[in-house]
Amino acid sequence: MTVAVDISHRLGAFTLDARFESAGRLTALFGPSGSGKTSLVNLIGGLLKPDRGRIAAEGRVFVDTAQKLFVPAHKRRIGYVFQEPRLFPHMSVRANLLYGRWFTPSAERYEDLDRVVDLLGIRHLLERRPSHLSGGEKQRVAIGRALLTSPRLLLMDEPLASLDDARKAEIMPYLERLRDETKIPIVYVSHSVSEVARLASDVVVLSHGKIVAFGPTGAIMQRLDLLPKESQGEGGTVLDMRVAGHDDEFEMTILRSTAGEIRVPRVDTAPGSAVRVRIRARDVMIATELPRGLSALNVLAGKVASIDTSDGATVEVRIDCNGEMVLSRITRQSMNALGLAVGLPVFAVIKTVAFDQENLSRTGALHDI
């Protein structure tokens, strides 16, 4: 599963220069408004033709200007999901879902209605008209319609942006299932840190038409400098952990990774399953001794790997917990009081509040091996 992009394209005064190759299940295009995310998606989808370059997915070349090759949008078999669901109002959900199917030759159809309907939990909606659906339900139907074209690649351009928080929370698990249970690579545009932290396997960070960073989600989320000022409090650590067991008495789940063990409010999934945990840097305190008499349940042992003091009153401390980095944001005053220095053994103390459901999500394999 790879998506390979190497293009330059001019739009008026704006120039997009993008080069990345992702083997991830869900590659997020992340960046502020006007950074070029939608233009990049439109180039991949074939709605725009690049001035120069090459775009390929799943080993199929869609554009190669050097070879004068340009596969038109309708021949790329790419599923598109937009911010607005764009369903046909006069057709039932069933008819909307089946609509896209006809554009795919029958020999190449690998999705069927039953599977898609179950994946997205929309069986009870099949006979309704779109006007009788909630925003979240409409968007699930729009995703189903894109899936039923049996696409080679799914492009999702801010699919949650027009939904309120409750609808976003409702649809998230379906996006996770889509990522984990279908084999379709997904390119997902978002400017929400929490969405990217939860869903993405890899992140392309765009700024003014250039890629300023590309890498696995965990590495990108630790680069608080890449996040917009107003979202820096959302940045931190993304740990992909496994369920080690459940504690029925206290309704907790024990998660483990090489960083150590943590306890979180119960996640209903079997031991051995993968769970992604997001820990905001501001929710991690640092102790130089193993804390006692503290309500926080989660303490990971490590060593200070780096300290970034470039930001005035607060500092960012990266703690190497047995090879996995945990990021903490504390005051410069606390840093001095603790005498923190690179190499010092410390304990990362994670506030329990860090583990609300928004920050815990089930995952499957995020990359193909």
Residues that bind ligand ATP (CB under 6 A): 11-12, 14, 31, 33-39, 191
Residues in the chain: 369
Q: How many Å apart are CA 78 and CA 107, to the nearest integer?
A: 16
Nearer to ligand ATP, 104 or 192 (CB): 192
What type of residue sits at position 161? A
Nearest to 190 by CA among 62, 1, 26, 327: 26
Shortest gap between Cβ of 81 and ligand ATP (angstroms)? 15
Burial annotation 325-364 (CB, 10 A radius, 16+ → b, else e)? bbbbbbeeeebeebebeeebebbbbbbbebbeeebbbbbe
What type of residue sits at position 112? D
Query: Do 208 and 236 meet the contact criterion of CB atoms below 8 Å apart?
Result: no
The first and second tokens of residue 135, run together, are 């925003």
What type of residue sits at position 19? R
Shortest gap between Cβ of 192 and ligand ATP (angstroms)? 11
Nearer to ligand ATP, 31 or 302 (CB): 31
Nearest to 87 by CA among 118, 153, 37, 132: 132
Nearer to ligand ATP, 45 or 100 (CB): 45
Shortest gap between Cβ of 12 and ligand ATP (angstroms)? 3
What type of residue sits at position 315? V
Shortest gap between Cβ of 152 and ligand ATP (angstroms)? 23
Nearer to ligand ATP, 33 or 131 (CB): 33
Shortest gap between Cβ of 223 and ligand ATP (angstroms)? 19
Shortest gap between Cβ of 31 and ligand ATP (angstroms)? 6
Pairing state of beta strands 26-30 and 186-190?
parallel
Q: What does the DSSP assignment read for 40-104?
A: HHHHHHTSS--SEEEEEETTEEEEEGGGTEE--HHHH-EEEE-SS----TTS-HHHHHHHGGGGS
- How far from 75 is each of 42, 48, 72, 78, 143, CA to CA, in Å? 14, 14, 6, 8, 19
Bridge partners for 302 per DSSP: 346
Nearer to ligand ATP, 12 or 323 (CB): 12
Nearer to ligand ATP, 25 or 191 (CB): 191
Nearer to ligand ATP, 38 or 298 (CB): 38
Shortest gap between Cβ of 26 and ligand ATP (angstroms)? 18
Shortest gap between Cβ of 269 and ligand ATP (angstroms)? 34
Nearer to ligand ATP, 227 or 321 (CB): 227
Nearer to ligand ATP, 48 or 197 (CB): 48
* CB-based contacts of 108, cutoff 8 Å, min separation 6: 77, 150
Q: What are phi and psi of 230, to 5 degrees?
A: -70, -15
Shortest gap between Cβ of 312 and ligand ATP (angstroms)? 29
Q: Which residue is nearest to ligand ATP (CB)?
A: 12
